[in-house]
Amino acid sequence: MEDRESLRALVDQMPAVERQLYDDMMSLSLESAFPGRKLVVYTLRNGAPTATQILTLGSMTMTVKEGSSVELTAEDGRTLDVGMVPVRVPGKEVFLHVPQKFELRWKGRVGRGGGVNFAPHYAVLIKTWSKPHLRVDGDTCCVRLNQFREMFPDVKIGY
């Protein structure tokens, strides 16, 4: 199968209502990910973010049958496995999934003590109605924590 056909086959595994919503959404973005990375899901109302929720990326697994998946933990402790088939963030109009062309890298970072720490780096796909920088009122977006802080410096959000 071509990549497009393969993606369609993955999307077709979604429940019908979720699949229709996913297909109707227009914005698909690729985001770099690693364990511990924070994502913020929010809905824009009158130019301000509301209903914010912090999601934390966790462990990654890979199986021959299911492919790659990443654990996603919400603030309330609920977890969600994000795999090759798009999954909806509960209660939000945002879908996440692992790209078909999955690339895993071990990226080094110099620690405080001078040693090098390595962590797995990969990507996740985020599907929403529009891109966050367009700031469409009523749309729900998902961005990195630092990106959220840059876009809304007056909004205090903790983790």
Domain boundaries, the chain: 3-151
Average pLDDT of the chain to the nearest whole number: 93
| Paired strand residues for 57 | 72
Largest CA distance in the chain: 52
Q: What do you get for the CA distance between the two ends of the chain, in Å?
A: 42
- Rounded CA-CA distance 136/29 in Å is 16
CB 100 within 8 A of CB 7: yes
Q: Is the pLDDT of residue 129 over 80?
A: yes
Q: Is the pLDDT of residue 157 over 90?
A: no
The pTM of the full predicted model, rounded to 2 decimals, is: 0.90
For residue range 75-105, what is the model confidence (pLDDT) as tens digits? Answer: 889 999 999 999 999 999 999 999 988 888 8
